[in-house]
């Protein structure tokens, strides 16, 4: 079993996915028939503001070709959006892709609002009651 460093670890999304890919079986028990895997990240905006994001990934047989489904702890609801974004396709072919997609469902909207001149506000993160 691999050791997971405790405390603050600065890493890019690619670093996180590489780490997970190299150690997925020992960390998450991928070989199990039903997988529930959770990761909690602290994401940074381009301006250095930090915000938390929890992600749960589990095996799924709902979507053809999407063996894993994901949920995020928060949805993004920025000033650029009418309502909080909830993906209609929370399925991917691997745990790594599921985590990447989950991050992007929140981060892309936060980054876009900042690029349009808005200052980050933690109120943009709407808690997911089903998480």
Question: Is residue 22 predicted with pLDDT exceeding 70?
Answer: no
Q: Return the percent helix, strand and coil in the chain, to nearest 5.
A: 30, 30, 40
In a domain, 3, yes or no: no
Secondary structure element (H or E) that encloses residue 61, with its range:
strand 50-63
In a domain, 20, yes or no: yes
- Residue count of the chain: 131
Q: Between vectors from CA 130 to CA 129 and to CA 131, what angle results, nearest 5°?
A: 95
In a domain, 7, yes or no: no
> How far apart are the C-alpha atoms of 86 and 58, rounded to whole Å?
18
pLDDT for res 28: 53
In a domain, 105, yes or no: yes
Q: Are 70 and 102 in contact (CB under 8 A)?
A: yes
Of 73, 56, 71, 66, nearest to 94 (Cα)?
66
Domain count, the chain: 1
Q: What is the mean pLDDT of the chain?
A: 82
In a domain, 37, yes or no: yes
pLDDT for res 116: 96
Write the CB contacts of 129 (distance below 8 Å, at least 6 apart in sequence): none
Average pLDDT estimate for 70-85: 96
pLDDT for res 94: 84
In a domain, 122, yes or no: yes
Question: Is residue 43 predicted with pLDDT exceeding 80?
Answer: yes
Average pLDDT estimate for 102-129: 96
The rounded Cα 120 to chain-centroid distance in angstroms is: 18
Average pLDDT estimate for 116-126: 97
Which pLDDT band, with edges at 50, 70 and 90, does 6 fall under?
very low
In a domain, 2, yes or no: no
Average pLDDT estimate for 97-115: 94
Inter-axis angle of helices 95-115 and 13-28, nearest 10: 150
Query: Mean pLDDT: which of 7-11, 14-18, 46-50, 81-85 is highest?
Result: 81-85
Q: Give the domain range for residue 82.
A: 13-127
> How far apart are the C-alpha atoms of 22 and 30, rounded to whole Å?
12
In a domain, 8, yes or no: no
């Amino acid at each position: 079993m691999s050791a997971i460093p405790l405390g603050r670890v600065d890493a890019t999304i690619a670093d996180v996915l590489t780490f997970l890919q190299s150690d997925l079986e020992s960390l998450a028990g991928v070989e199990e028939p039903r997988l529930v895997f959770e990761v909690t990240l602290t994401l940074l905006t381009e301006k250095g503001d930090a915000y938390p994001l929890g992600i749960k990934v589990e095996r799924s047989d709902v979507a053809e070709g999407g063996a894993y489904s994901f949920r995020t702890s928060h949805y993004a609801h920025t000033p650029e959006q009418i309502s909080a974004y909830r993906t209609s396709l929370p399925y991917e072919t691997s745990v790594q892709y599921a985590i990447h997609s989950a991050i992007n469902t929140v981060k892309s909207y936060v980054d876009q609002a900042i690029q349009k001149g808005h200052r980050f506000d933690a109120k943009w993160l709407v808690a997911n009651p089903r998480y």
